[in-house]
Amino acid sequence: MTTDDSLPLSRRLVLKGAGAVALIGLCNLALLPMPAIAAANDKYPENAFKQKSDADAIKALYGRTAEASDKVKLDAPEIAENGSVVPVSVTTTLASVTSISFFVSENPNALAASYVIPEGTLPHVANRLKMAKTCNVIAIVESEGKLFSATKEVKVTVGGCGG
Amino acid sequence: MASTIRVRAISNGEVTEVQALIQHPMDTGLVKDAKGDLIPAHFIQQLTFEHNGRTVFLADWGPAVARDPYVKFSFKGAAKGDDLKIAWVDNTGATDTMMAKIQ
C-alpha cells in the first residue's frame, strides 16, 4: 500500500518540478533575448576593442592587414568643431561585403565600431563617433575575405574626451 | 519607462532604409565628473536589427561611439508593414528591445 501511495505522489512531484523548470526557462528567454542573439551570431570582439593602435586593432579583429582602395568611400568632415560627435559614413562599390569597421587612430582605443553586413544588407553605414584629437579616421570594408580601407584626416577643434 | 530606442524604417518597395537613435550615455570610463572622480565605463556593446527572425544588421560598439548613438543602414527583402526588431545590450548587462513597423 505504501508503495502505491508514494508512487503517484512522487510522479506528481516530478511533473510539478518539470513544469517549474520549463517556466524558468521561458522567463529566461523572455528577459534575456540579446545574449541568445549575440551567441547565435557574432561574438562581441572584446579583444579588438582593447587594442590601442589601429594596426593592432585591425589585426585583432580580422587577423589580416588591409590594402587601400578607391572603391571604399569614406565620408567625414574636414574639420570637426566638436570631437564628441563626428558624423562618419562609408559606402563602397565592392561586392559581397560581410563587414564594415571604423577606427580612429589617435583614440585611446582605435576601434570605434564594427558592423556585420549579412547578405541582402547594403554596404553603406552611417554613424557618429568620438575623436580625442586631430587624426585619421580609417574605414575597413571586408569583401570576399579581403580587407580594403579608406583613410581621411579629420581636424578636431575640441576633443571628445573632455569632462 | 519609455523606450530608449527610436527607429524610422522606410521601404521604397525594394530597399528599406533604417535610422535608429538610442538614448545612452556611452561613457568611456576615461572622463572625470565635477568632483574629479572617474565616471565608470557605460556603453552599448551590441545592437541588432532582426527582420522575420533573420539578423539584417549587427553593430559591435566600443565607447568611442558618440553619446546617444545614431546609426543608418539599408537592407533588401522587407515589405511595408513588416516588423523590425531592435535590441541592444551594454557592458553592464542592461538591455532594451523594441518592435518597429516598416513604413
Residue-wise pLDDT tens digits, B41-93: 999 999 999 999 999 999 999 999 999 999 999 999 999 999 999 999 999 99
Task: Please give the DSSP secondary-structure letter assigned to residue B61.
Answer: E
CA angle, residues A140, A143, A145, in degrees to nearest 5: 105
Q: Tell me the pLDDT tens digit for each residue of B6-51.
A: 999 999 989 999 999 999 999 998 888 888 898 999 999 999 999 9
Fold of A45-158: Immunoglobulin-like (2.60.40)
A53 vs A159: which has the higher pLDDT: A53
Domains of chain A, by residue range, sit at: 2-39, 45-158
Query: Judged by CB atoms within 8 Å, which residues 131-160 of A form the interface with B?
Result: 131, 160
Q: Is the CB of A118 less than 8 angstroms away from the CB of B72?
A: no
Closest CA to B63 of B46, B47, B48, B42: B42
Q: Please report the ipTM that was assigned to this predicted complex.
A: 0.92
A22 interface with B at CB cutoff 8 Å: no
State if pTM tops 0.95.
no
pLDDT at position A14, please? Answer: 52
- B65: which chain A residues are within 8 Å (Cβ-Cβ)? 112-113, 127-130
Q: Chain B residue closest to A82 (CA)?
A: B66
Instruction: Give me the CATH code for the B5-28+41-101 domain, please.
Output: 2.60.40.10
Which H or E element spans position A49?
helix A46-50
Q: Where are the domains of chain B?
A: 5-28+41-101
